[in-house]
């Protein structure tokens, strides 16, 4: 039987959400003892737990068929992989930051300066584009402390909330690129594996489509139905069912939570009662 091998981050900013996404797709993963390989009983999937830095290489080599990894690693490693889908979580930016008290005015500040980073490839490309000559100090972790220990004048690193920068008395001065979790695939997947990937992508789509959407039910007097239905966005057309109480109906529809708070008062004004809001797990459009 064909099994799709997926690489996910072993531990770090993406690992929990990556497995969470599979869980939402009704794919539960049983991890082996040393948390290197996991299997699923719900889907022909084998999960390889790897360091995020290694995932692009493993996928390019076909050791893993696909991987969930930060775009930052895909850009940095620049391997022969296909970007299949952006996943919308683990969003961050990769930025240049300098000590808070420095006299930074524009990019030319970086000329002749040392920049510490774990992303030398992305940084060099950017500096070349901007015709800036700096010295890149490649380090694999704790980049943010490099200026305070005299290893560099500035850093180029991931910024998410910005709290790491603040606690190291650094300020972000230039966003070089944005990043989020993505699915990458090895080129030339076999037909069988492509089918498995398509099945997985379909499940992900149904989960993502449901995000932020709520199923709402409300009761309304029949003579107000027309007005109330006009207020409701809905998927196609709301369901209207008669209540046992004569002259009243129950309306069911799907509303995005953004829109929901904007129409709730109007619904009540128009005589809606007993409004229930229910989460939706999956939506197939
Ligand atoms: C990144 C980065 C910073 C931190 C920024 O590290 O290196 O340390 O996140 O996030 P913040 O703006 O919310 O403070 P990460 O946790 O990804 O670990 P890693 O650098 O070891 O991969
Ligand atoms: Zn890493």
- Give the span between the Cα atoms of 148 and 30, in whole angstroms: 43
Q: How confident is the model at residue 257 (pLDDT cuts 50, 70, 90)?
A: confident
Specify the CATH number for 212-279; select among 3.40.630.30, 3.30.450.40, 3.30.70.120, 1.20.58.220: 3.30.70.120
- Element at 174 (helix H, strand E): strand 170-179
User: In the chain, where does the domain assigned CATH 3.30.70.120 lie?
Assistant: 212-279
The pLDDT assigned to 278 comes to 94
Second CATH level (architecture) for the domain 4-88+180-209: 3-Layer(aba) Sandwich (3.40)
The predicted pLDDT at position 235 comes to 66
Q: Which helix (H) or strand (E) holds 267?
A: helix 257-269
In whole angstroms, give the CA distance from residue 67 to residue 186: 9
Helical residues (DSSP H) of 47-190, grouped into ranges: 55-61, 71-77, 120-129, 163-167
pLDDT of 76 > 90? The answer is yes
Query: Hey, which of 76, 160, 176 would you mutate to test ligand 1's pocket, going by the most ligand atoms within 8 Å of its Cβ?
Result: 160
Q: What is the mean pLDDT of residues 171-197?
A: 97
Structure tokens at 13: 């900013």
- Please name the residue whose Cα sits nearest to atom 18 of ligand 1: 12
Neighbours of 101 (CB within 10 A): 8
List the single range of 109-123, 198-212, 250-264 with lowest mean pLDDT.
Answer: 250-264
Q: Residue 44 has what pLDDT?
A: 96
Token reading at 64: 């893993």
C-alpha of residue 80 to centroid of ligand 2, in Å: 19
Atom of ligand 1 minimally distant from the CA of 161: 13
pLDDT at position 58, please?
Answer: 98
Output the pLDDT for position 20: 94
Residue 180 CA to ligand 1 center (angstroms) comes to 13
Provide, rounded to the nearest whole percent, the portion of the chain with pLDDT above 90: 87
- Output DSSP code: residue 222: G
Give nearest CA residue, ligand 1 atom 7: 158
pTM: 0.89
Which residue's alpha carbon is at the smallest distance from atom 1 of ligand 1?
Answer: 158
Surrounding ion ligand 2 within 5 Å at CB are 52-53
Please choose, from the candidates 73, 35, 82, the residue with its C-alpha nearest in 3D space to the C-alpha of residue 53.
73
Query: What distance in angstroms lies between residue 141's CA and the mean position of ligand 2's atoms?
Result: 8
Give the binding-site residues of ligand 1, using a 6 Å CB cut-off.
Answer: 12-13, 141, 143-144, 157-164
CA of 219 to the centre of ligand 1 (A): 49
Mean pLDDT of the chain: 95
**How remote is the CA of residue 198 from the centroid of ligand 1, in Å?**
32
Q: Where in the chain is the domain with CATH 3.40.190.10?
A: 4-88+180-209, 92-179
pLDDT of 6 strictly over 70: yes
pLDDT in tens, 100-124: 999 999 999 999 999 999 999 999 9
Residue 146: closest CA among 183, 124, 116: 116
Report the separation in Å between the CA atom of 199 and the middle of ligand 1, taken as the mean of its atom positions. Answer: 33
Q: What is the pLDDT of residues 14-42, one digit of tens each?
A: 999 999 999 999 999 998 777 799 999 88
Phi first, then psi: give them for residue 191, nearest 5 degrees: -60, -40
Which phi and psi angles does 10 have, rounded to 5°?
-65, -50
Pocket test for ligand 1, best of 73, 93, 164, 175 (most atoms within 8 A of CB): 164
Contact yes or no for 208/97 (Cβ under 8 A): no
For residue 89, give the 3-state DSSP assignment. Answer: coil
pLDDT digits (tens, 9 = 90+) for 125-178: 999 999 999 999 999 999 999 999 999 999 999 999 999 999 999 999 999 999
**In this structure, CATH architecture of domain 92-179:** 3-Layer(aba) Sandwich (3.40)
CA distance 212 to 157: 31
- Give the pLDDT band (50/70/90) at residue 89: very high
Q: What is the rounded average pLDDT of the residues 182-188?
A: 97
Instruction: Tell me what pLDDT residue 262 has.
Output: 86
CA-closest residue to ligand 1 atom 14: 164
Output b/e per residue, 225-237; b: 16+ Cβ within 10 A.
Answer: beebbebbeeeee
Report the candidate in 282, 278, 259, 258 with the shortest Cα–Cα distance to residue 216. 278
């Amino acid at each position: 039987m064909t099994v799709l091998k997926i690489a996910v981050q072993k531990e770090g900013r993406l690992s929990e959400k990556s497995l969470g996404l599979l869980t939402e797709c009704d794919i539960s993963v049983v991890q082996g003892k040393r948390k290197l390989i996991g299997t699923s009983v719900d889907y022909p999937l084998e999960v390889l737990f790897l360091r995020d830095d290694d995932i692009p290489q493993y996928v390019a080599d076909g050791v893993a068929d696909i991987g969930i990894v930060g775009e930052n690693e895909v850009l940095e490693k620049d391997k022969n992989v296909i970007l299949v889908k952006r996943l919308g979580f683990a969003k961050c930016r990769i930025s240049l930051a300098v000590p808070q008290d420095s006299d930074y005015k524009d990019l030319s500040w970086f000329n002749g300066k040392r920049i510490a980073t774990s992303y030398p490839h992305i940084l060099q490309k950017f500096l070349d584009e901007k015709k800036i000559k700096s010295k890149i100090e490649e380090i694999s972790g704790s980049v943010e402390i490099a200026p305070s220990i005299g290893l560099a004048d500035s850093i180029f690193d991931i910024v998410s909330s910005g709290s790491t920068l603040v606690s190291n008395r650094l300020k972000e001065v230039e966003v070089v690129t944005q990043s989020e979790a993505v699915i990458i695939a090895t080129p030339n997947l076999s037909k069988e594996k492509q089918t498995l990937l398509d099945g997985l992508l379909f499940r992900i789509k149904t989960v993502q489509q449901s995000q932020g959407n709520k199923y709402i039910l409300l009761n309304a007097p029949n003579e107000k139905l027309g007005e109330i239905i006009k207020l409701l966005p809905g998927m196609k057309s709301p369901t209207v069912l008669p209540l046992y109480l004569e002259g009243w109906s129950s309306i069911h529809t799907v509303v995005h939570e953004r829109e929901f708070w904007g129409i709730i008062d109007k619904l009540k004004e128009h005589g809606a009662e007993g409004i229930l809001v229910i989460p939706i797990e999956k939506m197939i459009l």
